[in-house]
């Protein structure tokens, strides 16, 4: 049985992991006969968004605690993530990837990946184990892999240009498809960067999961 690590960034599209993307990833992995374990940074979220009205809420929430909502409490601190225990890595999207795993949403010109996430992701890259990144999460790729790494966030040229400036070779991609960088063993899909409903997101995410497992 293939073992996959999943890095979450909270719970909720506007300030954490995109819930549909995370759950569809869990489902696709299970349907493909793979097992998974979830990890998240034990840090405060950048901020908390009221998902009803989109306004910033005056409260503090923890990324690890919020991520536990997605995986029914079965989540571990990312500092416990050991690449040698897994065959692959998958990172769902949502604004949490751009606010909590990195600061892409805050400083897109000079953004960085958080040290804990960077260390974990680079371990998989160094071991030449496959990884899957979806939605906005591919923004992390040029800070993890060598310049020229290939990936997609869909067809948003303005957003793609910001990531390309960091070293990503961006490839436009439809919502139900994936881009595979065979050299670096990376699979990316637009998911909710393009999806207008859960089924559209599911088509690309299922293809990403199958492709990542095929690269192991």
The answer to whether 153 touches 136, Cβ cutoff 8 Å, is yes
71 labelled catalytic: no
Token output for 52: 């009803």
Calpha distance 61→82 (Å, rounded): 25
Mention every residue, 6+ apart, whose C-beta is less than 8 A from residue 59.
48
Name the catalytic one among 38, 71, 135, 173.
135
Calpha distance 173→118 (Å, rounded): 25
Mention every residue, 6+ apart, whose C-beta is less than 8 A from residue 119.
none
Calpha distance 47→94 (Å, rounded): 14
The answer to whether 78 touches 120, Cβ cutoff 8 Å, is yes
Q: Give the SS3 label for residue 81.
A: coil
Q: Give the SS3 label for residue 47.
A: coil
CB atoms closer than 10 angstroms to residue 47: 17
Indicate which residues carry an active-site annotation.
Answer: 135
């Amino acid at each position: 049985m293939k073992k996959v690590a999943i890095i979450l960034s909270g719970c909720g599209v506007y300030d954490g992991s995109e819930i549909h993307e995370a759950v569809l990833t869990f489902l696709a992995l299970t349907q493909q006969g793979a097992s998974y374990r979830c990890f998240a940074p034990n840090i405060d979220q950048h901020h908390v968004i009221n998902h009803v009205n989109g306004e910033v809420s005056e409260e503090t929430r923890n990324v690890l605690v919020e991520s536990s909502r997605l995986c029914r409490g079965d989540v571990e601190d990312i500092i416990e993530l050991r690449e040698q225990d897994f065959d692959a890595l998958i990172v769902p999207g949502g604004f949490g990837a751009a606010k909590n795993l990195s600061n892409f949403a805050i400083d897109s010109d000079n953004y960085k990946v958080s040290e804990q996430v960077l260390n974990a992701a680079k371990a998989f890259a160094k071991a030449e184990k496959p990884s899957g990144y979806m939605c906005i999460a591919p923004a992390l790729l040029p800070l993890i892999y060598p310049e020229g790494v290939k990936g997609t966030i869909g067809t948003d040229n303005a957003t793609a240009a910001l990531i390309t400036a960091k070293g990503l070779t961006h490839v436009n991609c439809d919502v139900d498809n994936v881009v595979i960088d065979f050299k670096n063993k990376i699979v990316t899909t637009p998911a909710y960067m393009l999806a207008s409903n859960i089924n559209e997101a599911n088509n690309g995410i299922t293809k990403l999961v199958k492709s990542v497992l095929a690269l192991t």
